[in-house]
Amino acid sequence: MQYQIVRDITVSELAEALELNFQGSSTQLIKTIGSLSNIEPGVLTFASKRQSAQLNGVVIGLDGTDAELLILSKNPRLDFCRALQFLIDSEVLVKRDLSSEIDNSAIIADSAVIEDGVRIGEGTIIEHNVTIHQGSVIGANTIIRANSVIGAQGFGFEKSADGSWFRFPHLGRVVIGNNVEIGALNSVCVGALDNTIINDGVKTDNLVHIAHNCQIGKNSILTACTELSGGVVLGEGVWMGPNSSTMQKVKIDDSAVVGLGSVVTKNVESGNTVAGVPAKVIRRG
Rg (CA), the chain: 20
C-beta atoms surrounding 19 within 10 Å: 8
Helix, strand, or coil (residue 82): helix
Residue 128 among the catalytic residues: no
Strands lying side by side in the sheet with 280-283: 107-108, 125-126, 143-144, 181-182, 203-204, 221-222, 239-240, 257-258, 273-275, 280-283
Buried b (16+ CB within 10 A) or exposed e, 172-198: bbbbbbbbbebbbbbbbbbbbbbbbbb
> Would you tell me how many other CB atoms lie within 10 Å of the CB of residue 6?
11
Measured distance CA(114)–CA(131) in Å, rounded = 6
Compute the C-alpha angle 189/206/167, nearest 5°: 20
List of residues 6+ apart from 280 with CB closer than 8 A? 274
Of 133, 170, 209, 212, which is the active-site residue?
Answer: 212
Q: What is the DSSP string of 156-167?
A: -EEE-TTS-EEE
Alpha carbon distance 92, 263 (integer Å): 41
| Rounded-to-integer distance, Cα 237 and Cα 267, Å | 16
- For the chain, the maximum distance between any two Cα atoms, rounded to a whole number of angstroms, is 57
Closest CA to 22 of 53, 44, 51: 44
**Catalytic amino acids?**
212
